[in-house]
Amino acid sequence: MKLYNTMSKSKEEFVPLEEGKVRMYVCGPTVYNFIHIGNARPMIVFDTVRRYFEYKGYDVNFVTNFTDVDDKIIKKAIEEGVTADEISKRYIAECKKDMEGLNVKPATTHPLATEEIGGMIELIQTLIEKGYAYAKNGTVYFRARKFKDYGKLSHKNLDDLRSGNRSLLVSGEDEKEDPLDFVLWKPKKEGEPAWESPWSDGRPGWHIECSEMSKKYLGEQIDIHAGGEDLIFPHHENEIAQSEAANGKEFAKYWLHNGFLNIDNRKMSKSLGNFFTVREISEKYDLQVLRFFMLSAHYRSPLNFSAELMEAAKNGLERIKTAADNLRFLLGNASVKEMTEAEQGKVTKAREYIVNFEKAMEDDFNTADAIAAVFELVKYANTTTDGESSKAYLQALLEMIVKLTDVLGIVVEEKEELLDGDIEALIQERQAARKERNFARADEIRGELLARGIILEDTREGVKWKRA
């Protein structure tokens, strides 16, 4: 399996740190509003990467955080006259609903920055002790130039950064030893949430949050660190500097970054009026269509969102679902059980499409070519089955389609309608899981119910549900 590593700017053979296991960290959203379709791209892409590793038999420890303390969250809280905690909790819940709609699997762990402050303070203390950081008037800065490999991910030259691109530098130049130094801890301002630290009552800088959460839940070294290409500099560059300076070892072996999403060939922005949230898209399309659209291009390519392309994705997805439905219909009416010799030969031929699918996915997760292989399989199923086909042959083809689409997170299985009693039982199990703080299982149950057309609403009176 080959992955394109941003660090080396080349495709490299994937060799895990520990055989059969993958430790993967993906930077999650800052939760101050509904997630937009730009946020959705890395969620879908790296969920698919995770699914493929699992399909190949790897045990994947998949961590993605929620940044729940940030200037944007504080600003929103002040505007609404509520606490920052209230804003972040509200939009974490909304984000999880959208992730369910997109069929993004819950992470192994979804850490919250505000629950990991103690570890961040310890990490900053280590950096100060090692001479990589210094405190000034309650703020702690990282000495970027002391870390000799600074710039190795983004391939930026330190002197060029300093002289020609001051917009990339962190503010507070007057206090810093060097304009390149960046903030690890900052003192609170009036009305902001704050935590006690040896330097001031304040809060961590954004970059240190991911370094600490990755270390706590995955260890000092990880296999894959991923996110949008907008995070390469300064966020991921700073994460590398902090983590490697503190731990004295390589932070991540492979760095994966998805390309930008444009709207009608223009950058998405509120000022241009082409800014769409996932929730808004869900009012026009099944979110499975958005997922299918996102996977129709290679993850590193820029992707252009338009009504025409969404319609094309809708039609493509419909072709796959219709083929699966036809196979189910034929299965329900098939009288012959066992495969004929000719059908056995056809199954062997159909397996070639699975090989093509895997080849595409193992070439840096080329989902566009993987989808092409699924379409070939669908066409083959449509043209080699009829009312005379055996149950075993029909079942074999259906299982192949379901297996491959599941790797892509596309649901083609027909779900039986749940009885009210079954729904209530799953809700009870979800409540019990939440009480035990097993949030991954609670999210899984919500996702299972949503996939079966059951929408949950957590209210003060308890959990209410309705059929979509």
Q: What secondary structure does DSSP assign to 19-65, as a single string?
A: TTEEEEEE---B-SSPPBHHHHHHHHHHHHHHHHHHHTT-EEEEEE-
Task: Give the model's pLDDT for residue 160.
Answer: 75
Outline where DSSP puts E strands in 43-125: 59-64
Partnered with residue 4 across adjacent β-strands are: 11
**Which pTM was predicted?**
0.87
The rounded distance, in Å, linking the Cα atoms of 441 and 422 is: 17
pLDDT attached to residue 275: 83
Q: What share of the chain is helix, strand, coil (3-state, %, to 5)?
A: 50, 15, 35
What integer pLDDT is reported at residue 414 of this predicted model? 62
pLDDT one-digit tens code per residue, 326-353: 999 999 899 999 999 999 999 999 999 9
Measured CA to CA, the distance from residue 291 to residue 460 in angstroms comes to: 33
Q: Tens of pLDDT along 163-176?
A: 544 444 444 556 89
- Are the CB atoms for 117 and 212 separated by under 8 Å? no
Contact by Cβ (8 Å): 244, 214: no
Residue 361: what pLDDT?
98
What are the C-alpha distances in Å from 100 to residues 136, 212, 247, 276, 452?
A: 44, 27, 36, 18, 11
pLDDT of residue 211: 98
Cis peptide before 198 (omega within 30 of 0): no
Helix (H, G, I), strand (E, B) or coil at 338: coil
For strands 462-467 and 261-263, give the pairing.
Answer: unpaired
3-state secondary structure at position 366: coil
pLDDT score at 159: 78
Q: With a cut of 50, which residues of the chain have pLDDT below it?
A: 164-171
52: tokens are 């493929």
Distance CA 429, CA 441 (A): 9
Q: Please report the pLDDT score of residue 166 as a whole number.
A: 45
So what's the pLDDT on residue 446?
Answer: 83
